Every structure is written in structure tokens, then in C-alpha cells.
Amino acid sequence: MKRNISCFVIALCFILAASQPVYAHTVLPVNPDAQPTTKAIMNWLAHLPNRSDNKVLSGAFGGYSGDTFSMAEADRIKNAAGQLPAVYGCDYAKGWLEPANIADTIDYSCNSDLISHWKSGGIPQISMHLANPAFQSGHFKTQISNAQYENILNSTTPEGQRLDAMLKKIADGLQQLKDEGVPVLFRPLHEMNGEWFWWGLTEYNQKDSQRISLYKRLYTKIYHYMTDTRGLDNLIWVYAPDANRDYKTDFYPGDSYVDIVGLDAYFTDAYSIPGYDELTSLNKPFAFTEVGPQETNGSLDYALFINAIREKFSKTIYFLAWNDGWSPAANKGAANLYNDSWMLNKGEIWNGDSLTPVVE
């Protein structure tokens, strides 16, 4: 069985690499050693805005691995809109749990579904609500001082060793996807400009230059561990600040560490989502990496969201809608969103032998 899977992966790499259209310019991942499939997907994503239609990947969040994750959200979208989302999100970290071993907050059992999702024409996005290494476990929303942050960055401290234990287990999960030839939209340390996660700011819209520097060191530590130490060549690195806070680009770790920039945006008026111009000024492909209504009362019209993308945010290459009460299936306009002529749904990324062509 393992030999058959390996043959599938090798064949797919050659097929995708050989079947790509010729572009005026090629956009490569920041990892120069990225596998051929990852390079092909990255270049394909970067050129989506050149299309006239079929230019935005649809997406949905499937839940927390080992807890709420399933393909049920994809099925809800299918029932509401007649389409399956192209991008499907899983979160590897249940940072609110308090087991004796902090690494036990990490779970990648969602991988089997993500592998199937890729093989049937989708692509996964993986994020982590990491437990707080300043504590034995849990506390993902407990604020820490900059001195505690420094300890987390130091692998000789108990805090640093707890971080390293989580990173090792995350990398083990990503390795499993690599072995299956699955490219991953990898979104670490999201919403850093907010004050609700331990890795971010500690006060509402209060700039802390030392904190920003510590965040960049943490992000680049994760990048070098995953890329250099573990050799994970299937990752497309996504930088995702919160739309409703300032300092969206201050935390940006640099062009050498980011493939896609995005916004996590919860809104009442899609046309008023702030930050698009700031993020696109970084000259990286842009996505709405997490979206939903501010109020979970079922009143948001997602048809207005795709209209706003058309009229104001036309460089968008994908969106990922949150699940539960934030889901398009729990609100209005799901069919309009997923069936818009700009949309690419599952099965429209590649069909088993080639990526869908992009007109340059």
C-alpha cells in the first residue's frame, strides 16, 4: 500500500510540473527547496487574479483536529450551495486543554480527511491555536510578559522546551502530509495584532515594538525549524493579521518568510473590511484567511461578500469561512457565494492530471 501511495505522489509531481502553462513570470514559494507540486500550486495561486472568471478559491473551516473536526462543514456547504469548498481548514492545536504534557494539545488526526480532500481536488489550510508554553499547558488566551516571551524563544528553558515539544508534533503531522504529496496553506501565529492570543499584543491597539520583534523571532524560529530542521517542502506560508486591529503589517516577518498575506475578518459590512490596501502593498498574493459575521444571528448575506471581493478586493485568491454560526450555511447567500462565476470550488484546482489553466 505504501509503495502504491509513493508511486501516486511521484507521478503527480511530474504530471503537475509538466502540465503547467507558460507564464510571463514565475512565482516560487519562499522555500527554495519546495517540492515540485508545491511550486506548481504556489505559481498557480499567484496568477489567479489574471483570470476573468474562476479566480477565487472557496473555503470553509472543518474544526479542531481530535475534537470538532470533520467533513460535516463541507457537507453543510454542499447542501446549502450545491458545491464543496476548495480550501478546507483544520486546526492542529487545542490550546485550551491542560494535559500533563503540552504536546498532547496537538492533534493531526484530521490528516486522513485532508489527504482525501487533496486527492479529490481540494487543498488544506492548517492553523494552530497553540497552548501557552509559559504554562504546563492550556492558557492559549492568557497574556504573558515580554520576559516570558523571551523564555519561550530559548530552547534551554522549560518554556522553550514546551514550545519545541509542540513544534515537533506539529511537524510530525505536516510530515505525514508531505509523505502523501499534499501541499499545505500553513497559517501559524494568526491574529498577532490582536490582544487575545499569548503570541500577540497585550493591550487593545497599543503598539509594543519589543513585542513585535519577539513575534518576528518566534515566527522565523518556526519557519526555520519546519523548513531547515524538518525539511518540510510542502508548506505555503500564510501571514494573517486581524482586520479589525491596527499594526497589520508591523508584525510582517519579511518577504523571505511569507508566501501569501491575508486578513482574518469578522464583519457586518463586507465593503468596509479594513486592511486590504496595507496587505496588498506587501506585493504578495492576498487571501481572506478567516471570515465570518460579527454576530452569529444568521443575518449576514454572503452574496455581498463576493460582490465586495469583485468591486473592492479583486486580488483575493481564496477565502476561508469559519464554521458553526459563522458559516455561510448558517447565514444568507451561500448559493450566491459558492456559485459566483469568480469562484473555484473543490475539483476545479486540478483534475488528477493538471492544474486548471490560468490566462496570463
The catalytic site residues sit at: 191, 290
Q: Is 288 in contact with 242 (CB distance < 8 Å)? A: no
Query: Quick one: which of 317, 341, 356, 357 has its CA closest to 59?
Result: 317
Strand spans (E) along the chain: 56-57, 59-64, 87-94, 123-129, 184-187, 235-239, 260-267, 286-293, 316-321, 343-344
Phi/psi at 350 (nearest 5 deg)?
-150, 155
Residue (of 31, 91, 35, 34) closest to 67 by Cα position: 91
Other CB atoms within 10 Å distance of the CB of residue 300: 26
Q: Where are the alpha helices (DSSP H) in 120-259?
A: 146-153, 158-179, 209-224
SS3 289: strand
C-alpha cell at 41: 500550486
Bridge partners (DSSP) of residue 332 are 301
Q: Which residues contact 277 (CB under 8 A, 6 or more apart)?
A: none
CA angle, corner 296, sides to 304 and 314, nearest 5?
Answer: 25
Number of H helices, E strands in the chain: 10, 10
CB atoms within 10 A of CB 22: 6
